[in-house]
Structure 1
């Protein structure tokens, strides 16, 4: 995955356990999961297609989101922070985190020093989530 887009961790644990652990680690860093999209179920229901276990989580830290939205309401188009959890071919799990700093380059939003600072803080917190997953 291109580093500027995000970062990932590989976990030697089944998908369901990884999904539960990711949600708990996000919560520990102040993020709530505001959306959860089960792509396997969606593709099966809408397309009749099978797909590996894959969930897109929309993670929101209310304090960080509030600070950004006060600065520029357009930021809302780029929220929440996306985190994906998927099963790999070895029945382990891959967790990917979108890079908030990269996402905010859309429309030049990163030029605002407050938005840039909050995006850096969001990335740092997401990196702490990734680290916690690797050490648990």
Structure 2
């Protein structure tokens, strides 16, 4: 099996809050909901202090889930839950003008589990995530 790239990626030139809103809308347009949200800057500042989170800049992790595909994946491979939801990262380094949006490549689920039943699901979810990124 060939090594899968870790993330599907795109870059937009806009402010961070607009990029987050656009990412949420693009995900929703492809049938994904956002189940979790982690503000890495805030979390690092709260836990480590001393502006530790400022080093990463704007960095938001969205836990995206398409319920239909999640159901199929769990049915095919019950342990898949440790790899769900699909994380989508919206990030802007300090001083950068562009915002990068990375989506977990679902092909990693197949590579990590070696479960053939996940191949079709990962391909379809990957196409939906790529379409969401393309709509940004």
Asked whether the two chains share a fold, i.e. TM above 0.5, the reply is yes
- In the alignment, which residue of structure 1 is the partner of 2:103? 97
- In the alignment, which residue of structure 2 is the partner of 1:87? 92
After TM superposition, the runs of 4+ consecutive aligned structure 1 residues lying more than 2 A away are: 88-92
Moved more, 44-53 or 85-94: 85-94
Contact 1:5 1:103 in 2 (8 A): no
Q: Deviations over 1:30-76 (max 9, x none)?
A: 00000100000000100012321101111000000011111121111
The within-5 A match list for 1:3-14 is: 4-14=5-15
Distance 2:96 2:48 in 1: 25
> Which ranges of structure 1 fall in alignment gaps of 5 or more residues?
none
Q: Note the aligned Cα RMSD (angstroms).
A: 1.5
- In the alignment, which residue of structure 2 is the partner of 1:17? 18
Distance 1:123 1:26 in 2: 12
Distance 1:92 1:121 in 2: 28
- In the alignment, which residue of structure 2 is the partner of 1:66? 71
- In the alignment, which residue of structure 2 is the partner of 1:131? 134
Moved more, 37-46 or 47-56: 47-56
Distance 1:26 1:41 in 2: 23
Structure 2 residue 116 is matched with structure 1 residue 116: no
Contact 1:33 1:58 in 2 (8 A): yes
Deviation at 1:94, TM superposition (A): 0.5
Contact 1:59 1:80 in 2 (8 A): yes
